[in-house]
Amino acid sequence: MNIKENIKTLIIKKPLKLDCGQIINDYPLAYETYGTLNENRDNAILVCHALTGDQFVTGLNPITKKEGWWSYAVGPNKSIDTNKYFVICANVIGGCMGSFGPSHVNQKTNKIYGADFPVITINDIVNAQVNLLDHFGIKKLFSVVGGSMGGMQVLQFVSNFPEKTKTAVPIACTSSHSAQNIAFNELGRQAITADHNWLDGKYSSKNTVPDKGLAVARMAAHITYLSKKGLQEKFGRKLQERDDLKFGFDADFQIESYLRYQGSVFVDRFDANSYLYITRAMDYFDLAKQFKGNLSDAFINTKAKFFIISFTSDWLYPTQENKDIVIALNSIGADVGFIEIKSDKGHDSFLLDVPDFLNALKNFLDKSYKENKV
């Protein structure tokens, strides 16, 4: 299959100076849209995806042939109702689903970038995405919404472009990556670079993949997306298709088999170098640092209405880190709402069928949309 035939791509002519100092231009930004942009162009929602997501938010992903990563939340009559809203989602730069990333050819050398790709930040990602608004003639979004790394993009977007959205919904996120989260990401990166097939990032030119390292990286990360209670209830100490322990290193336990499966299917759809670059962008994210340590100053110029959502069992981006954002917004008198959703599904709660979350998101968006129409 020719992936390019199934991907909408916008070539960005406007030069973008990255935080690392390099300047890029004439670069591709892959995107997908859902719903219809109304005549006033005021019903657009920019959805920002998380680490391993892509632009195919809902419906059938034409590349993987699987359901979009947020099919529970986005679609006709769902929380983000595509009968009402025009939904836009871009694959982040650094990604591997069509946007400018490590798997692209460096026009100066005529070789695949690999590990020579420039290091990117959340700020760079957002500054690239905003070009989609000009492309569609949208002066102001109705909302910008995202969970996890997508939530980081929401915060950065409102800070960079305070007049370009009416509402903002950061979900299960943080304003800066903690030492614990940097540590987990580094574990994943080390697994990839230690794989003998990584070849200093040049594996594509050798027609190989550091699949074992990438699978381990995914397994380690996946644990952080779940909760202890959720894992115990689903797996406990159940054995995998056997009556007793085998006294070896095969997958005796169901949880072992589950993690191995998650790792194996991940390598079929994601690029190892993209994983390195995007996790690095997450680790570099520190919005307060951009404003001399004062997080409130990041939002001082916006009149956007915020709705921040966290989950009780999320230990990757715990409720307190979400509340810190609320406190920063309250200190400048911003319009901000907050809800902590009870769920035992861990960080991944925002991706799953959690009715209280889906209802809260829908109610906020629909009420805000109605208020904006008055």
Token pair 């100066």 is found at 108
Q: Which of 177, 204, 347, 348 is catalytic?
A: 347
* Residues paired with residue 11 on neighbouring β-strands, in sequence order: 28
Nearest to 191 by CA among 128, 266, 291, 139: 266
What are the backbone dihedrals phi and psi of residue 158, each rounded to the nearest 5 degrees, phi first?
-65, -35
What letter does residue 108 receive in the DSSP assignment?
T
Query: What does the DSSP assignment read for 67-85?
Result: B-TTTTTEETTSSEETTT-
Distance between CA atoms of residues 357 and 95, nearest Å: 28
Residues listed for the chain: 374
Q: Which of 54, 81, 195, 314 is catalytic?
A: 314
What are the backbone dihedrals phi and psi of residue 342, each rounded to the nearest 5 degrees, phi first?
-80, 120
Strands 165-171 and 305-311: parallel
Token pair 């925002």 is found at 350
Q: Which of 71, 79, 99, 148 is catalytic?
A: 148
Catalytic site residue 347?
yes
3-state helix, strand, coil in the chain (%, to 5): 40, 20, 40
Nearest to 18 by CA among 98, 96, 125: 125
What letter does residue 129 receive in the DSSP assignment?
H
For 88, 181, 259, the CA distances from 220, given in Å and listed in that order, are 30, 11, 9
Active site residues: 148, 314, 347
